[in-house]
Amino acid sequence: MSVLLEARHVTKHFVIGRKQVVHAVDDVSLDVHEREIVGLVGESGSGKSTFGKLLLGLHDKTYGEVFFKGEKLPRRYKSSDFQRYANHMQMIFQDPYSSLDPRMTVGEIIGEGLRNDTSDPVVARERISDWLSRVGLDPDHGSRYPHEFSGGQRQRVGIARALIMEPEFVVCDEPISALDVSVQAQVVRLLGELKSSFGLTMLFIAHDLSMVRYVSDRMAVMYQGSLMEVGPADNVFFNPKHPYTAVLIGSNPSPDPKLERQRQTMSIKGEIASPINIGAGCRYADRCSEVMDVCRSMTPPLLPVTDAAGERMVACHLYH
């Protein structure tokens, strides 16, 4: 498998006041291979959505580069850049309520990107109704407005809007968090079907660990803007190496009462620290149960670790 998208030392700092800088994403490097789903997990405020938006140019990068099929993407997008890359990269947003313009019909929302591609209204209309039926909606519903649809149906509209451009790479930013359990499964299955029929590559951002393990090939764990661990989804889930990954997975209750009764509680101590003006050292050091002196003075790099289950990348002094 060749690398489709390559992020090198991507960093985003938000300046929020005099000498106050939020380190939203700090020096993140991640490769996404063709036809692969990478799951990105982390607590809220860990920078997962910001990273997804940086990849697509929805935020300007402070440092770092993103390569798409070997081509370096601009640090700051101009509107012509957005049009150029719209056919290659798209995004599915978290909230199916606020991400659809209430004054546009669903057909207009889905077809908006096509104006970039084709000017023939007949072709556009055909493709819109084709996509409505592909995502499981009635092709005649293109003239309806978003408020006439349920949450799950709106999320399907969001998916159709992103995929009608036939992109190679899609960032799914918590596409199922706002949905009910039974509808989550419908949307996940739809994404899986579309992946196999179009060969999509996805970055799947979520905080539901069981779902991420289920959906993705590889899993990346983020904490306070840094990657803590990256590896094959099952390995990371069942055999976490980084102490933070272990706590994150240990906190996730499993729908099996017998397992839950045996399991020791693994709740994390303390609160997530402020992301403003972070100094050197591991970001997790203050909450880590295995903390050593070196953790407070030196930021651990993300380095490969090999074990029986295969290779993965871990940013922890315990392994280096």
Partner 1 sequence: MTQTQAVEDDPAILTVNNLHVEFDTYGGIVKAVRGVSFNVRPGKTLAIVGESGCGKSVTVQSIMGLIPMPPGRITSGSAFMEGVDIIKQRIINGRDIRGDRVGMIFQDPMSSLNPTMRVGDQISETLHVHRGYTRKQAFARAVDLLAETHIPEPATRARQYPFEFSGGMLQRAMIAMAIACEPSILIADEPTTAIDVTTQAQILDLLLELQHKTKMAIVLITHNLGVVARMADDVAVMYAGEIVERGSTDDIFYRASHPYTLGLQGAMPCNDPERKQGLQPIEGTPPDMFAAPIGCAYYARCPYAMRLCAENYPQKFPLNPRHYANCWLHHDSAPLETAPKLFRGETP
Give residues in contact with partner 1 (CB under 8 A).
43-44, 150, 152, 180-186, 188-189, 207, 209-211, 213-214, 234, 237-238, 247-248, 250-260, 265-268, 271-272
Closest to partner 1 by CB, 78 or 189: 189
Report d(CA 109, CA 100) in Å as an integer.
Answer: 7
**Shortest distance, position 252 Cβ to partner 1, whole Å:** 5
Closest to partner 1 by CB, 162 or 206: 206
**Shortest distance, position 122 Cβ to partner 1, whole Å:** 33
Helix-then-strand count for the chain, H and E: 11, 12
Closest to partner 1 by CB, 58 or 185: 185
Cα angle 239, 244, 246 (rounded to 5 degrees) comes to 30
**Shortest distance, position 24 Cβ to partner 1, whole Å:** 17
Report d(CA 202, CA 234) in Å as an integer.
Answer: 17
Confirm if 231 and 306 have CB atoms less than 8 A apart. Answer: no
Closest to partner 1 by CB, 90 or 235: 235
Closest to partner 1 by CB, 184 or 201: 184
**Shortest distance, position 50 Cβ to partner 1, whole Å:** 16
Confirm if 138 and 103 have CB atoms less than 8 A apart. Answer: no
φ and ψ at residue 254, rounded to 5 degrees = -100, 140
**Shortest distance, position 263 Cβ to partner 1, whole Å:** 8
Q: Which helix (H) or strand (E) segment is 194 a member of?
A: helix 181-198
